[in-house]
Structures are given as structure tokens and as C-alpha cells.
């Protein structure tokens, strides 16, 4: 490439600095800080469910143990592994963008999205299984006494937590796919990588939420 087209290529992928910022670095710092603040709000958003879980489990420890044994530990464990791996892949994808390795980055982002879809599909199978076992509150919930109430409370929380989490996973998958397309079109690169970084931060948060969800929903009372 001659110098002119190189400059054009560079300019095309250079970040547009909005007028309220002095330079690109300030803009990037602001965007990163903003994203972390948003992640804090997400922690508190899910936190309500964790707080409710903690309180109800303090009230009904045995009931929660019984209920947790109804979840599919194998699926849950595999799902955790899937998300952890996807976290690694997206972190590597951002690294690749920063190094202008566009094809590698697109591949990694696509793989991340696929793992996200895998997670959702596995969850779907879990939900279906729980439906057949009458474990969905409000939809023909039937469990043997004496702990039926506590089991129902557990599963109310289970569906709230996994439902909101799956919603976030879905949004993340969509954003990652869009990101992959834009990386393919060389919108981002070593000159301009804030948006991929922020997307990755969001995806990591989704992973972190699940890191805590997994033992709390799937591993209670497993030792019988």
C-alpha cells in the first residue's frame, strides 16, 4: 500500500472524537469508566435476586437443598464451562482487534457467540425438563410436601435469576454478532477498539453473574 492509501486506511479506522472531548484518549477513558459504572448497576440489579435468595435460604435451608437437587447439575456445570470459555475467547478477540488481526478476531467473536447460543440451548433443555417435572411455579407446579413451599420459592428465584441472566446472554450474543460484522468490515482495529472492549466487559459481567449463580442454584445439598 502506498502512503496515501495507508493514511486513508488509518483515517478510516481512526476514532471520531466527539466535540466535548479534548482527544481520543479522554474519550476512551470516559467510555471505559462509563461502562464500569453500568456494570456496577448490573451487579446491583442482579443483586436483588441474590439478596432475596440469601434471605430465603437463611429461612429455608433444607427446603433449598431439596429444591437444588432437582436442578440438572451436569447441564449446569457444562454451562458454566461454556461461559468461562466464551469469556476467554472474547478477551482474546479484543486482543486480536488491538493487534489488527481482523480474521482471527472475527473467528473468536463468532465462536463466543456460538458458545453463548449453546448456553441458551442447554438452558432451554433444562427448562423443558423442569416443565415435565412440574417444577415451574404458576404452570402446574406440583411437588411433594412437606417442603413444597420452599421448593416453589426456590424455583421462583431460579426462573427469575436464570430468566434475567438468559435475557442478558441473548442481548450479549446479538451485540457480539453485530460486533463481529463490524470487525470484519475493519471498522475497528489498533487505532479504534473501545467498542469491542466495552462489549467484552459486558460479556464478562454476564459470565461473572453466572459464576455465582451456578453454586447457589445447582450445588446446594448435593452431598445428600
Residues of span 147-166 touching other proteins by CB under 8 A: 149-150, 152-153, 156-157, 159-160, 164
Mask of contacts with other proteins, 197-216, x by CB under 8 A? ---xx--x--xx--xx-xx-
**In angstroms, what CA-CA distances link 212 with 46, 162, 165?**
11, 12, 12
100 closest CA partner among 188, 6, 195, 2: 188
108: its cell numbers: 473468536
Verify binding: residue 186, other proteins, rule CB under 8 A: no
Verify binding: residue 73, other proteins, rule CB under 8 A: yes
Closer Cβ to other proteins, 6 or 41, answer by number:
41
- Return the residue of 38, 75, 107, 127 that touches other proteins, per CB under 8 A: 38
Cis, peptide link before residue 146, omega less than 30° from 0 = yes
126 closest CA partner among 190, 74, 83, 88: 74
Verify binding: residue 140, other proteins, rule CB under 8 A: no
Of 9-17, 119-127, 168-176, 177-185, the segment contacting other proteins by CB under 8 A is 9-17
Closest distance between other proteins and the C-beta of residue 193, in Å? 7
CA–CA separation, 100 and 108 (whole Å)? 13
Alpha-helical segments (H) within 60-147: 61-68, 73-98, 102-132
Of 14-22, 111-119, 122-130, 171-179, the segment contacting other proteins by CB under 8 A is 14-22
Amino acid at each position: 500500500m502506498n502512503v496515501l492509501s495507508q493514511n486513508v486506511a488509518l483515517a478510516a479506522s481512526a476514532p471520531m472524537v466527539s466535540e466535548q472531548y479534548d482527544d481520543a484518549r479522554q474519550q476512551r477513558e470516559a467510555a471505559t469508566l462509563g461502562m464500569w459504572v453500568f456494570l456496577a448497576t448490573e451487579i446491583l440489579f442482579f443483586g436483588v435476586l441474590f439478596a432475596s435468595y440469601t434471605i430465603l435460604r437463611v429461612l429455608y435451608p433444607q427446603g433449598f437443598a431439596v429444591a437444588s437437587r432437582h436442578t440438572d447439575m451436569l447441564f449446569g456445570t457444562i454451562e458454566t464451562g461454556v461461559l468461562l470459555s466464551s469469556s476467554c475467547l472474547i478477551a482474546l478477540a479484543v486482543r486480536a482487534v488491538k493487534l489488527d488481526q481482523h480474521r482471527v478476531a472475527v473467528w473468536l467473536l463468532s465462536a463466543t457467540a456460538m458458545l453463548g447460543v449453546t448456553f441458551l440451548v442447554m438452558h432451554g433443555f433444562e427448562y423443558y425438563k423442569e416443565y415435565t417435572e412440574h417444577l415451574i411455579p404458576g404452570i402446574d407446579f406440583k411437588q411433594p410436601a412437606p417442603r413444597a413451599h420452599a421448593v416453589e420459592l426456590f424455583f421462583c428465584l431460579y426462573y427469575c435469576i436464570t430468566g434475567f441472566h438468559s435475557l442478558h446472554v441473548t442481548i450479549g450474543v446479538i451485540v457480539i454478532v453485530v460486533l463481529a460484522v463490524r470487525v470484519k468490515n475493519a471498522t475497528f482495529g489498533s487505532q479504534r477498539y473501545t467498542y469491542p472492549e466495552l462489549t467484552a466487559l459486558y460479556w464478562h459481567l454476564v459470565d461473572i453473574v453466572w459464576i455465582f449463580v451456578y453454586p447457589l442454584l445447582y450445588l446446594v445439598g448435593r452431598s445428600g
